Amino acid sequence: MVGLSEGEKHFIRGGITQDLRTDGRKRLQFRALSVQTGVIPQANGSARVRLGATEIIASVKAELGKPSILHPDKGKVSIFVDCSPTAEPMFEGRGSEELSAELSVSLQRCLLGGKSGAGAAIDLSSLIVVEGKVCWDLYIDGLVVSSDGNLLDALAAAIKVALSDTGIPKVNVSVNAASDEEPEVDVSDEEFLQFDTSSVPVIITLTKVGRHYIVDANSEEESQMSSAVSVSVNRHGQICGLTKRGGAGLDPSVIFDMISVAKHVSQQFISLLDSEIAAAEAEEAEC
Amino acid sequence: MKDRHLSLNQTQRVRLEAALHELQSLAPAAASAAAVTVADTIPVNQEDNILKGHGTSDQDGEVVATLCGVVERVNKLVYVRTLRARYKPEVGDIIVGRVIEIAPKRWRLEINFSQDAVLMLSSMNLPDGIQRRRTAVDELNMRSIFEENDVICAEVRGFQHDGSLHLQARSEKYGKLERGQLLMVPPYLVKRKKQHFHHLEQYNVDLILGCNGFIWVGEHVVVGEKTKPTGGQQRFSTEAENFTPLETRKHICRLANAVRVLSALGFTLTVELIIETMEASVSSNAEINDMLGAEFYVQTAEREAKRRADLLRKKNGAR
Amino acid sequence: MEYVNPLTGFRVDGRRPNEMRQLKGEVGVVARADGSALFEMGNTRVIAAVYGPREVQNKGQQVNSNEALVRCEYRMAEFSTGDRRRKPKGDRRSTEISLVIRQTMEASILTHLMPRSQIDIYVQVLQADGGTRSACINAATLALADAGIPMRDIVTSCSAGYLCSTPLLDLNYLEDSAGGSDVTVGILAKMDKVTLLQMDAKLPMDTFENVMGLAIEGCKAIASYIQECMQINDLNLSKIAVPTMDITQPLKSLTCCGWMAFVHCIAVHRNFLGLLERPMEYVEGPVGLLLSPKSRRPQNSPSHFVGIW
């Protein structure tokens, strides 16, 4: 993340004002998106998403665990993000901890809903095996392999694709277990239940530069931002989460405007992502 | 070839492979004979006093390569020319760099070399143009000439004893670069030529091909206005409406995308090739952003293959 | 558990005892790095990225200013192993492997050619299935060659073990955790020197010699594969980059510059005309054109000549 000179910043601001960014995109245009599924065979589901030069690998692993006492009828999901130093030398050692923590928390907020689990994008009650005793723990891991801006959107897209690739093994519970004993579960190797990802949202980050907003900022444009609002929208146009970053204050009317722009852009992005997922799955089926 | 983030469909992949294959077959046959990888022995005639140049080392009396590349022989000198390495400076090179740090009486620049380059205050023209001794006041006002993160065009003056590079920017054509964008490509794609500053009149654009792989594409600035002292932030905020005009901006973006595509394909960058690629995009009515897409990528490869084939045919016909 | 089938002699994954897993190496996977490589040994997948040589960031770490500073970091992705690891970085195993890789590569890099600079090697494990140490070293070698950093020799590494009274080459995770011994060897391929040797569990001496010999054979096989990868990659790049010379160009510039300059060129550069007929880039044989870096080239001459520095 090298700094930019005043002249270059001026040029970028001018481009955004004139609706012609440095690589020729319009303000609300995404970079080239490419999707691959099944990249990590050991995981239950995995995906690799490239948005321009940003590359993310996401994997979903399911393990059997005990549900929490407060919510005995829900499974557990946890999301972690790691930034690999191969992407940027400054991610070495503990350099990436702050960024990883921020990304993880933002994703959790957008995908998992509140503390009670209400409003989560993933139906947690579908993860339960035996109520109160056994449930599935989903561990979603994102790895940033190459970073060129807009990590949050790419991570959310990668997680959505990985979840659509996830297969939870079917579990047969032995019937004759006593009520206070640990039941025996038999995890099947053959049958898998595909995850329902129709309600998993995507995140659209709108970066405000000057008086205009842009979508999918690369790292140069991100260094220019006064503030950024990340809106998580699902297929039905409902907002699942909202995060504002950046030091500059925003007028509430501006935020409402940004939300409506994000909703509009997200519908196109969701349909693009769905077609890419379908293409990737078709390709995987061929292999 | 390296930026594989393009998803090509089947037909595009086939066309790309055909074009690349043709390009490889057109290269002079001597190339494959002289290619060498790390720890390969270089065949030399033992009787001559061979000078072992860069990329070679002496092990047990044999000349062994330490790099992957092509063996070059000039008279008694044998060396290995590698492709994908950091910039290798030569005196007199024109380079583009970014200021990292301001140190006493000098600026440190990052130029894609193993060390930062140094631009002394005395190697820089003062804003008022008078040739005089630099005083302490000048030293305190260094930031008014160049700040951190500024992009500067300069020339390599020489090497210091510790291997670091010294630059000079005394001429009018060197200095701060503004109103444009900086691109980074592998240094081996920029060959040393007579001219590195290109003023493309028809587009009103300045194109500077730095030998270190930093390429500047920007709005044309009349020579002589470059080294004016800036008021920093305030200058730009008052000129908020003074952005680059849209037409020039379109040309700048097209040229920049042409450079990106050519460097992704691995073709040597020359002004003619860049302009040709850009004009092909205009004539095929491709959107500026589509120049970074798969279709244009494949088309550029095909065009270059055809051009080289024609050139070879002409050369063979002329013989 | 039968790691080697007594009847057929096949291992758990169908290999013979002296057979290595499938190798796959790819160069140039991280665009931003100076050099990068992806290396796969069976199911173990590793990405290595090299940044450098560049200016030393932390002057306190630089011990010897006549040599380059080599730094290395090893990281495993959380999803790389079968059971999910928490805290994949900063734990003792990662620190130890980072140190091991750094020492192994430092033995081969010609650090005295790049004084006052630093070379960073970052290794990220995507999938771990035994032999991660070796895969990391092999990937780092490819990445360093891709970055154009001069090396004494190719460093390769392979592991071998001893189970069911048979020396086994290239253990996977199952065989590694079987409790038998695991010998990891890293060698400088052409010079035939060992730079890394680690072993756990115990082995009688003569068995150890057999196992180590087997590992060294594996290393040599990997070295020839890595050389192939480098050759293919480099050849493709050089063929595509270098255009067949624009022969018209030097002639054009000749007519542009004045007659005096032409005479000057002829006087200064011998074999000038002889040079024009050949493609410029591959100059072989006794072409007499040795330019020292200090001599300033005459302004009007075409600078196609091979400059020596």
Is A2 a domain residue? no
pLDDT cut 90: percent of chain B above it = 19
Closest CA to A217 of A92, A53, A69, A58: A53
In which domain, by residue range, is A21 found? 12-286
Residue B24 identity: Q
Neighbours of A86 (CB within 10 A): 31
Closest CA to C55 of B221, B239, B311, B98: B98
Residue in chain C lying closest to B88 (CA): C309
Residue numbers in B near C248 (CB within 8 A): none
- Residue A159: the pLDDT is 92
Whether A266 contacts chain C with CB within 8 A: no
Residue in chain C lying closest to B79 (CA): C308
Alpha-carbon distances of C273 from A232, C269, C277, C295, rounded to whole Å:
68, 9, 7, 21
Is C18 a domain residue? no
Residue numbers in B near A3 (CB within 8 A): 98, 148-149
Of the listed ranges B119-123, B245-249, C185-189, C287-291, the one predicted with least confidence: C287-291
Neighbours of chain A (3+ CB pairs under 8 A): B, C
ipTM: 0.86
Residue numbers in B near A24 (CB within 8 A): 253-254, 257, 287-292
Q: What is the largest CA-CA distance in chain B?
A: 72
- Residue B33: the pLDDT is 65
Please state the rounded mean pLDDT for residues B234-257.
Answer: 76
The answer to whether A183 and A133 are in contact (CB under 8 A) is yes
Neighbours of C254 (CB within 10 A): 17
Q: Which of C29, C241, C293 sits opposite B90 (nearest CB)?
A: C293
The answer to whether C160 and C168 are in contact (CB under 8 A) is yes
The per-residue pLDDT for range B167-196, each reduced to its tens digit, is: 999 888 888 888 889 999 988 889 888 889
**Last residue of some domain: C240, C255, C290?**
C240
For B297-306, b/e burial (b = at least 16 CB within 10 A) is: bbbbbbebbe
Residue C305 identity: F
Which of B6, B8, B149 would best serve as a mutation to test chain A binding (most A beta carbons within 10 A)?
Answer: B149
Is A110 a domain residue? yes
C23-27 sheet: strands from edge to edge: C23-27, C35-41, C44-55, C117-127, C69-76
State whether C108 and C196 are in the same domain: yes
**Phi, psi of C205, deg, nearest 5:** -60, -50
Report d(CA C36, CA C188) in Å as an integer.
Answer: 20
Whether A33 contacts chain C with CB within 8 A: no
Q: How close A37 gets to chain B, by Cα (Å)?
A: 14
Residue C157 identity: S
The domain B37-82: what is its CATH number? 2.40.50.100
In which domain, by residue range, is C131 found? 23-240
State whether C116 and C148 are in the same domain: yes
CB pairs under 8 A between A and C: 78
Is C16 a domain residue? no
Q: Which of C81, C89, C122 sits opposite A86 (nearest CB)?
A: C122
Q: Which of B178, B236, B288 sits opposite A24 (nearest CB)?
A: B288
pLDDT cut 70: percent of chain A above it = 91
pLDDT greater at residue C98 or residue B135: C98
pLDDT above 60: residue C290:
no
Split into its structural domains, chain A has a count of: 1
Distance of CA C129 to the CA centre of its chain: 22
| DSSP state letters, C152-199 | SS-EEEEEEEEETTEEEES--HHHHTTSSEEEEEEEETTTTEEEEEEE
DSSP secondary structure letter of residue C248:
H
Closest CA to C236 of B1, B72, A46, A252: B1
Report d(CA A83, CA C49) in Å as an integer.
Answer: 14
pLDDT above 80: residue C38:
yes
Whether C281 contacts chain B with CB within 8 A: yes
The per-residue pLDDT for range B21-60, each reduced to its tens digit, is: 888 887 766 656 677 888 888 887 776 778 888 888 888 8
Residue B88 identity: K
| Cβ <8 Å between B243 and A52 | no
Mean pLDDT for all residues in chain C: 77
Is C271 a domain residue? yes
The CATH number covering residue A275 comes to 3.30.230.70
State whether C34 and C162 are in the same domain: yes
Split into its structural domains, chain C has a count of: 2
Neighbours of chain C (3+ CB pairs under 8 A): A, B
Residue numbers in A near C78 (CB within 8 A): 80, 82, 139, 141, 143
Q: DSSP strand E in chain B: where?
A: 35-36, 51-52, 56-59, 62-65, 69-74, 77-82, 94-103, 106-110, 117-124, 151-159, 165-169, 175-177, 180-184, 197-200, 205-209, 214-219
Q: Residues A35, A107, A212, CA angle at the centre, nearest 5°?
A: 80
Whether C224 contacts chain B with CB within 8 A: no
Report d(CA A116, CA A17) in Å as an integer.
Answer: 43
- For residue B128, give every residue at least 6 positions away whose Cβ sits within 8 Å of its Cβ, in sequence order, or none: none
Residue B254 tokens, joined: 């097209």
Q: How close C41 gets to chain A, by Cα (Å)?
A: 14
pLDDT above 50: residue C284:
no
pLDDT above 90: residue C141:
yes
The per-residue pLDDT for range C148-185, each reduced to its tens digit, is: 899 999 999 999 999 888 899 999 888 888 888 899 99
The CATH number covering residue C157 comes to 3.30.230.70
- For residue B109, give every residue at least 6 positions away whose Cβ sits within 8 Å of its Cβ, in sequence order, or none: B97, B98, B99, B100, B116, B117, B118, B119, B152, B154, B167
Q: Which of B5, B7, B151 sits opposite A7 (nearest CB)?
A: B151
| Four-point Cα dihedral C48, C49, C50, C56, nearest 10 | -120
Residue in chain A lying closest to C52 (CA): A89
- Residue B212: the pLDDT is 92
Question: How are beta strands C69-76 and C117-127 bridged, if at all?
Answer: parallel
- Residue C123: the pLDDT is 95
Domain spans, chain B: 37-82
State whether C213 and C267 are in the same domain: no
Please state the rounded mean pLDDT for residues B157-161.
Answer: 89
Residue A235 tokens, joined: 């297929």
Residue numbers in B near A15 (CB within 8 A): 249, 253
Closest CA to A14 of B246, C220, B216, C102: B246
Is C14 a domain residue? no
Residue C253 tokens, joined: 């510039």
Q: How close A76 gets to chain B, by Cα (Å)?
A: 34
Is A52 a domain residue? yes
The answer to whether C136 and C46 are in contact (CB under 8 A) is yes
Question: How are beta strands C44-55 and A239-245 bridged, if at all?
Answer: unpaired
Which of A1, A4, A5 would best serve as a mutation to test chain B binding (most B beta carbons within 10 A)?
Answer: A5
Residue in chain A lying closest to B258 (CA): A23
Neighbours of C170 (CB within 10 A): 27
Which of A44, A48, A86 would best serve as a mutation to test chain C binding (most C beta carbons within 10 A)?
Answer: A86
The answer to whether A17 and A10 are in contact (CB under 8 A) is no
3-class DSSP state for residue B126?
A: coil
Q: How close C179 gets to chain B, by Cα (Å)?
A: 37
Q: Which of B23, B92, B315 sits opposite C296 (nearest CB)?
A: B92
pLDDT above 80: residue B79:
yes
Which of C67, C248, C282 would best serve as a mutation to test chain B binding (most B beta carbons within 10 A)?
Answer: C282
Q: Which residues of B touch A (CB under 8 A)?
A: 3, 5-7, 98-99, 110, 147-151, 176-182, 218, 230, 232-233, 236, 239, 243-244, 246, 249-250, 253-254, 256-257, 260, 287-293
State whether C185 and C43 are in the same domain: yes
State whether C175 and C48 are in the same domain: yes
State whether C175 and C206 are in the same domain: yes
State whether C226 and C135 are in the same domain: yes
Residue in chain B lying closest to A3 (CA): B149
Start-to-end C-alpha separation, chain A: 38
The per-residue pLDDT for range C226-266, each reduced to its tens digit, is: 999 888 887 777 777 765 443 333 333 334 334 444 444 44
Q: Which of C75, C84, C90 sits opposite A139 (nearest CB)?
A: C84
Residue A79 tokens, joined: 């999301």
Is A6 a domain residue? no
Is A3 a domain residue? no
Residue in chain C lying closest to B188 (CA): C241
Whether A92 contacts chain C with CB within 8 A: yes
Distance of CA A73 to the CA centre of its chain: 25
Distance of CA B294 to the CA centre of its chain: 24
Residue numbers in C near B91 (CB within 8 A): 293-294, 296
| Residue segments in chain A with a per-residue pLDDT below the cut of 50 | none
Strand partners, C23: C41
Closest CA to C27 of C157, C117, C141, C125: C141
Alpha-carbon distances of B159 from B163, B168, C118, rounded to whole Å:
6, 12, 19
| Cβ <8 Å between C73 and A92 | yes
- Residue C115: the pLDDT is 87
Which of B84, B93, B108, B195 would best serve as a mutation to test chain C binding (most C beta carbons within 10 A)?
Answer: B84
